[in-house]
């Protein structure tokens, strides 16, 4: 059975890919070069794709910078040392408008061409609850829409299913699951603002959240923080 | 009031933009360079955008060829002289997987950055009923999903509305409406397989459908057919 797996190269998407592999799917990894400031994550994605021996890894270049509106794609400072990912402080500035909608739309296109009906995405509704497009109700609505949008859906063939195995897990549980499904944690990249060599800053939202997760899981993060 | 208007440069999207203008919207036109064989339509889009004095016209380059699967983006012959657009013969080979989903996702991203809540798309459920992503139930599902995906939706601000003024119109009615809202019909481009100078072939699905519409509307098509 084939599955399209969205892969950013971060801890979550890498774990999600590991889960898909463990469930026996033949994986097609899909990454995006969207003008993200932390493009080093694409190298991490390639390493993880190789590590899990995916059937194919495609990197699609898309232009989210065309619209701006986020610290991850526009010239807005990435916030430091103030964890804004916990959902109590509204939607963070690192939110990229329509990002997951666009990513899932491409995944859906590839799934349709591959004649595959499973998509994996490592969204998380706990730690990323400030991002509207990480919530289960969004995923359910996307799945419903996708099944009306595609040839397979209309012709009554296998319906598209969007798997979100990390949706209800806290970061510590994701770290444990990552270890369990065989993610090489040293290959993943989470930092929004790494240095030239790709070393994580240790101070952006994403680093703080990751470090907290490792600490709570009692596992040492192998990354070379600055 | 701002609106993002998807504009391919074809008769339908141009008419749709004309309708948005007539309704008093300040229009932001959005076109895609998606490796379509009939890229000449992007020049038509620019001419129409100028004709209707849109506030801004952006062309986003996206890579639908990455996945293939359609006569419009892959090396598959465009069917000639056999109108397959009428929905009685299944989904045509010119269907591009997930195209409208991807286009609407980008429109949604731009709308979010512009803080605008109206999107216009010239889909048609009559003549293009073979395309799953032109149907009203798809548009409704997309609208629902979009309102769960965005910051504005989550924060309870104005909800996104997707306008499809051509949805229920036959081609002849669209030709009449185009004339009514002031579309310069000679600027539009519909052919899937034009020659080097952009002259329409007169034999592909899109040309046949257009010619039929003009004939039924009793209006002369000013395009220089081959």
Please give the average per-residue pLDDT across A170-197, as a whole number: 93
Q: What single string gives the DSSP state of each residue in B21-68? A: HHTT-EEEEEEEE---TTTHHHHHHHHHHHHTT-SEEEEEE--GGGT-
Of B66, B151, B153, the CB nearest to A58: B66
Which one, of A75, A109, A71, lies nearest residue A92 by Cα?
Answer: A71
Domain ranges of chain A: 2-217
Please give the average per-residue pLDDT across B170-181, as a whole number: 96
Q: What is the pLDDT of residues B12-32, one digit of tens each?
A: 999 999 999 999 999 999 999
Cross-chain Cβ contact B98/A132 below 8 Å: no
Of A100, A102, A132, the CB nearest to B154: A132
3-state secondary structure (DSSP) of residue B32: strand
pLDDT at B87: 42
CA distance A119 to A143: 10
Least confident of A20-24, A48-52, A55-59, B32-36: B32-36
CA distance B36 to B63: 10
Average pLDDT, chain B: 86
Residue B88, pLDDT > 50, answer: no
Q: What percent of chain A has pLDDT over 70?
A: 82
3-state secondary structure (DSSP) of residue B51: helix
Least confident of A75-84, A86-95, A187-196, B143-152: A86-95
pLDDT at A76: 53
pLDDT at B83: 53
How sure is the predictor about A87, in pLDDT bands with cuts at 50, 70 and 90? very low
CA distance A94 to B25: 30
- Is residue A60 within 8 A of residue A38, CB to CB? The reply is no
Please give the average per-residue pLDDT across B162-182, as a whole number: 96
Closest-CA residue of B relative to A32 is: B63
pLDDT at B157: 66
- Is residue A106 within 8 A of residue B103, CB to CB? The reply is no
Which one, of B9, B1, B2, lies nearest residue B184 by Cα?
Answer: B9
Highest mean pLDDT among A138-152, B54-68, B151-165: A138-152
At the fourth CATH level, the homologous superfamily of domain B2-217 is: HUPs (3.40.50.620)
Closest-CA residue of B relative to A152 is: B132
CA distance A33 to A63: 8
Please give the average per-residue pLDDT across A186-203, as a whole number: 89
Residue B155, pLDDT > 80, answer: no
pLDDT at B85: 46
pLDDT at A186: 94
The distance of Cα A8 from the centroid of its chain, to the nearest Å, equals 5
């Amino acid at each position: 059975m084939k599955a399209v797996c969205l892969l950013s190269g971060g801890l979550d998407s890498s774990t999600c890919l590991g889960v898909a592999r463990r469930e026996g799917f033949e994986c097609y990894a899909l990454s995006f070069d969207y003008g993200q400031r932390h493009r080093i994550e694409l190298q991490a994605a390639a390493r993880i794709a190789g590590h899990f021996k995916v059937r194919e890894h495609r990197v699609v270049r898309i232009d989210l910078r065309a619209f701006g509106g986020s610290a991850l794609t526009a010239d807005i400072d990435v916030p430091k040392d103030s964890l804004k990912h916990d959902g109590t402080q509204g939607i963070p500035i690192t939110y990229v408008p329509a990002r997951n909608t666009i990513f899932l739309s491409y995944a859906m296109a590839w799934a349709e061409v591959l004649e595959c009906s499973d998509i994996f995405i490592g969204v998380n509704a706990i730690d990323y609850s400030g991002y509207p497009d990480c919530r289960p109700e969004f995923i359910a609505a996307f799945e419903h829409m996708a099944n009306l949008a595609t040839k397979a859906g209309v012709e009554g063939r296998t319906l598209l299913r969007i798997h979100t195995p990390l949706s209800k897990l806290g970061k510590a549980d994701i770290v444990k699951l990552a270890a369990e499904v065989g993610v090489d944690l040293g290959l993943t990249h989470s930092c929004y603002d790494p240095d030239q060599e790709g070393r994580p800053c240790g101070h952006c939202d994403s680093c703080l959240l990751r470090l907290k997760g490792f600490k709570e899981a009692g596992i040492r993060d192998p990354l070379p923080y600055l």
